[in-house]
Structure 1
Amino acid sequence: MFKLTAFSILIFIALGNASFIEKSNFTKLTSKEIDIWDLGNHTDELAADSVNRINGGRPVEQIVPYQVSLQVHRRGRYHHFCSGSIISPQHVLTAAHCLTKMNPNEISVVVGTLTWRNGGDRHGVVAMRSHPGFSSSSLIINDIAVLKVTPSFNLARTSISTISLGNRARVGDKVPVRLTGWGSLTPTGSTGLPERLQVLDYHTISNQECAQRGFRITANELCALGERGRGACVGDSGGPLTISNGAPQLVGIVSYGTATCALGRPDVYTRVSSFLPYINRVISSEIP
């Protein structure tokens, strides 16, 4: 969930008390300066179960088997900071900005659970590759990365599975899509993250409309928009945007939005179909 107010752009990482801070300047269509929200102010303490779910989502009733929680262990406990999607028995797809200033041995991947704080299986990370063209300086581009885990995921379990990446066909506008994640339920993330996985159904908009609403995006990104009070937020970064054509298909990776979430502005996603050759190359040769 995010906001565009006062020309602030938010990258949806949540590292709570881990004191992880990223700041950059962005150039917008208006040429006004945009600052990334100070991520160090966020806390991942359990949010109250309130009707004020600013993302407009609802708790998930059944485990999303391809969804993972990326966590770091700091100050005596684990912190959820991003999500990702299982794409092979050993690989997770996420956003490159989630891995900035991170080492593989700092990250653990939790799968097969509805609650990031409890349950599921915990895996280590032995390698990670961010897209070589990733940048978040003047424009966020190529925001995609692959993690390799150990041990391999137990895909024989019904609670853990891969998700299809589909083909290179581009998703157009007005397509129903689904976002799942542990992102904040309040506009600024001040009350922390929900313990239970949340789901939001909304729809894509055209890149032209997304640009008209204030974002400088490329053809390798896609945007989704819900009514005011419905969108991605802190903690959703790297997570899956899916369509259902029979089995779920991964079409987007949560990338960025605005610094106060879900104020009727679009959410920007990395367009998975644009990066299929990169993903296949990384899995098969760079980190086999």
Structure 2
Amino acid sequence: MFLHFGILLLLSQGLVGEVDVSEAIDGDSRIIGGQDATPGMAKYQVSIRIHKRKREGHGCGGSIINEQYVLTAAHCVFRKKLKDMSIVVGSNKLSKGGDRYMIKKLVPHENYSPRTIKNDIAIIQIEGKFKFSDKVQPIELLKEMAPVGKKCLLTGWGYTDYNKITVPNNLQMLEFETLSNDDCNKQLNRSHFTNLLPLDAGQLCVKRPKGTGACHGDSGGPLVIQDDKNKTVQMGVVSWGVPCGKNFPDVFSSVHGFFDWIWSKIN
């Protein structure tokens, strides 16, 4: 469990028919309070594995954004060593399947602050290139500011039970609703983490169903939305939250807010 000034950084240690993301967003999908995702729904999903001695565990989530790069949170890679990490894609199960890639470079945002959890965005470059298939595909990034009050979807392998430290084998999905930063600041002002406020243009908030939410292991994971053309695009990266499933919004790094920074690192 990784705690930072009492705030939860959402890190972790430790076949059915294909479903489109749009169907999942419209369905009853509630990570803590989540339900199993399916192979056809999150082909962009990444598991960042942490290696300690001869043991391996899921550390963070991430998303494939092109043949060589993964998008994740800065706190997932900050001061980490390449040899202690790898990337697994193409499987919704932590225990088996998928393709493994070694890491060539870790690029956390230059202004990432562990104290304020601002600029919590990072790029990972893999060795070689991803082999795209019917189970592995990149996700497009949202260029515009995310609309307020719209359904969106998070996938990840974060704890499904915070108290029992239960890590799911199956990828989980959870539906949220976007929230304005002004409303989010007001709600989080009731928490013990006012030192992290106000949120800036590089952050966004989502409202979660009661008793659900992101948890350890979901960090760096992709929050996606349907754009005006019904295309699935990534709008956020899991950053921090009030642990876990409490009645507060979860905070994400905004893809829109860091769009230029992301492209400057991968082009």
TM above 0.5, one fold? yes
TM-score by length of 2: 0.85
Instruction: Tell me the distance in 2 between the aligned counterparts of 1:97 and 1:54.
Output: 19
- Are 2:228 and 1:238 aligned? no
2:157 maps to: 182
Match of 1:49?
A: none
1:14-56 Cα offsets, whole Å, 9 max, x none, are 123xxxxxxxxxxxxxxxxxxxxxxxxxxxxxxxxxxxx8722
Larger mean CA deviation between 100-109 and 117-126 belongs to 100-109
Asked if structure 1 preserves the Cα contact closer than 8 Å seen for 2:43 and 2:90, the reply is yes
- Normalised to the residue count of structure 1, the TM-score between the two structures is 0.79
Q: Which amino acid aligns with 2:223?
A: L
Q: CA deviation at 1:113?
A: 0.3
Deviation string for 1:98-134 (max 9, x for gaps)?
0123112221000000112211000000111111010
Aligned residues: 238
1:55 counterpart residue number: 32
1:140 equivalent among 117, 142, 154: 117
CA–CA distance in structure 1, aligned partners of residues 126 and 61 of structure 2: 14
Q: Matched residue of 1:208: which SS?
A: helix
CA-CA distance at 1:142 after TM superposition? 0.5
Deviation at 1:13, TM superposition (A): 0.6
Structure 2 runs not aligned, ≥5 long = 15-29, 189-193
d(CA) in 1 for partners of 2:225, 2:266: 23
1:256 aligned onto 2:240: yes
The CA deviation at 1:191 is: 2.7
Q: Which SS does the other structure have where 2:65 is aligned?
A: strand
CA distance, structure 2, for counterparts of residue 202 and residue 96 of structure 1: 23
Following TM superposition, by how much is the alpha carbon of 1:172 offset from its aligned partner in structure 2, in angstroms?
2.8
RMSD: 1.7
2: CA distance between counterparts of 1:135 and 1:244? 31
Aligned to 1:226, which of 176, 201, 208? 208
Q: Residue 54 of structure 1 contacts residue 187 of structure 1 at CA under 8 Å; is this kept in 2?
A: no
- The answer to whether the aligner puts 1:272 opposite 2:260 as a matched pair is no
| Residue 192, structure 1, aligned to residue 176, structure 2 | no
Distance 1:95 1:120 in 2: 22
- Quote the Cα distance in structure 1 between the aligned partners of 2:264 and 2:179: 30
> What corresponds to 1:93 in structure 2?
71
Q: Which residues of 2 match residues 124-139 of structure 1 at below 5 A?
A: 124-137=102-115, 139=116
* Superposed CA offset, 1:133-175 (max 9, x none): 10021x11000000010231011x11001000132x1113211
2:45 maps to which of 64, 67, 92: 67
